[in-house]
Structure 1
């Protein structure tokens, strides 16, 4: 005599359909990293990632990308290395963060969604170029929301570094809020991918 089944036939069918669903069995290739180099290399990278910031540096023509490596624990308590969102740089007389020039300037917003007099023209993961549409001098500091079309708003704050010849202000961004800084990196990565698809294949 067969023992009573714990699951119903419908539940078994559902589990089997989940296992054979190709969309659920595809790994996120942008997040996972397979290290082929032997146990010693894997152990070294794991120890370094657990105690220090480890990055993978990639160079493509006149641009650089630095991918942070993160040590993550899965549901089975196994440790894995994952690639984080890259910081993108451009080369020139000096290496500087890649700047995305918005197609049209965009007004920064308050927390309640009201438009401010600060209009963003360019953004990088370290700074922004702002126009102040008031007949006063640029504020020394700002705190507002960057709300690009098709993306969730990103909280940014900055300190004035210099006033350019055209009257716009170059602001250094405060990156203390790690979650918002990561969201800005992801936004910039998407814009970079749109402009330079060959680098992201």
Structure 2
């Protein structure tokens, strides 16, 4: 693996400001870069964006951050490249989505806001490690709400992929809205920065 990032720290700090300025509430509020490469380069970007998913990647020795990009074209054919919170992958024998171990498990909520018997112990951009209790078999599927700290609950649809001892099970998660997936990624991004400040030492605390 390379020992250097694709982006400089100053560039990554600027991207971080763009991602965090809008906040995780809506994809529509994202900000980004104005693209002015001329008619032919702009047309090429539009074609690429219409046929595939664009992303901006920063590679570290132990992690890769992949920022999804969305291209917006106005009535004057000006292009804006908008950034969303990144997907974070950790390197190892197998590259996989980074998982946050929660110091305090998060209860999964029913539709009326009451706590269910399930709680989340680890969280990734598309998966959960759930504790159903030592004497309860984890369900194959569930549709519940996850309340991130200081945020409104979001609906998740989860399917069990692996059952472990002690009432634990790993689940693959689907979100009702893309904005909900972005909220999860924004939360994970903030927590990753908190746990790994050495990756961006020049960022002030109020950015995260």
What TM-score, normalized to structure 1? Answer: 0.75
Alpha-carbon shift at residue 113 of structure 1 (Å): 0.8
Native 8 Å contact 2:71 2:82 kept in 1: yes
5+ unaligned residues in a row in structure 2: which ranges?
1-16, 20-30, 204-208
1:141 aligns with 2:141: yes
Map of 1:126 onto structure 2: 126
| CA distance in structure 2 between the aligned counterparts of 1:44 and 1:100, rounded to whole angstroms | 38
Native 8 Å contact 2:34 2:78 kept in 1: no
Higher RCO (Cα < 8 Å, 6 or more apart) = 2
> Which stretch shows the higher mean deviation, 48-57 or 86-95?
48-57
Secondary structure of the residue that 2:94 maps to in structure 1?
Answer: coil
Native 8 Å contact 2:129 2:168 kept in 1: yes
Native 8 Å contact 1:138 1:169 kept in 2: yes
| CA distance in structure 2 between the aligned counterparts of 1:151 and 1:75, rounded to whole angstroms | 35
Q: 1:48-197 maps to which residues of 2 (within 5 A)?
A: 48-73=48-73, 78-133=78-133, 135-175=135-175, 177-197=177-197
Secondary structure of the residue that 1:33 maps to in structure 2?
Answer: strand
What TM-score, normalized to structure 2? Answer: 0.73
Distance 1:175 1:151, change over 3 A: closer
Length, aligned pairs only: 173
Which digits, 9 at most, give the CA deviation of each residue in 1:85-113, with x for residues without a partner? 21111111101101111111121111211
Alpha-carbon shift at residue 65 of structure 1 (Å): 0.9
Alpha-carbon shift at residue 183 of structure 1 (Å): 1.8
5+ unaligned residues in a row in structure 1: which ranges?
1-27
Native 8 Å contact 1:55 1:67 kept in 2: yes
Secondary structure of the residue that 1:88 maps to in structure 2?
Answer: strand
| CA distance in structure 2 between the aligned counterparts of 1:74 and 1:199, rounded to whole angstroms | 36
Which digits, 9 at most, give the CA deviation of each residue in 1:137-159, with x for residues without a partner? 11000111111221222221210
> Which stretch shows the higher mean deviation, 48-57 or 99-108?
48-57
Native 8 Å contact 1:117 1:134 kept in 2: no
Which digits, 9 at most, give the CA deviation of each residue in 1:111-165, with x for residues without a partner? 2110000010000011000000373311000111111221222221210111123
Over aligned residues, Cα RMSD in angstroms?
2.4
| CA distance in structure 1 between the aligned counterparts of 2:164 and 2:135, rounded to whole angstroms | 16
Q: Which has the higher helix share?
A: 2
1:29 to 18, 24, 35: 18
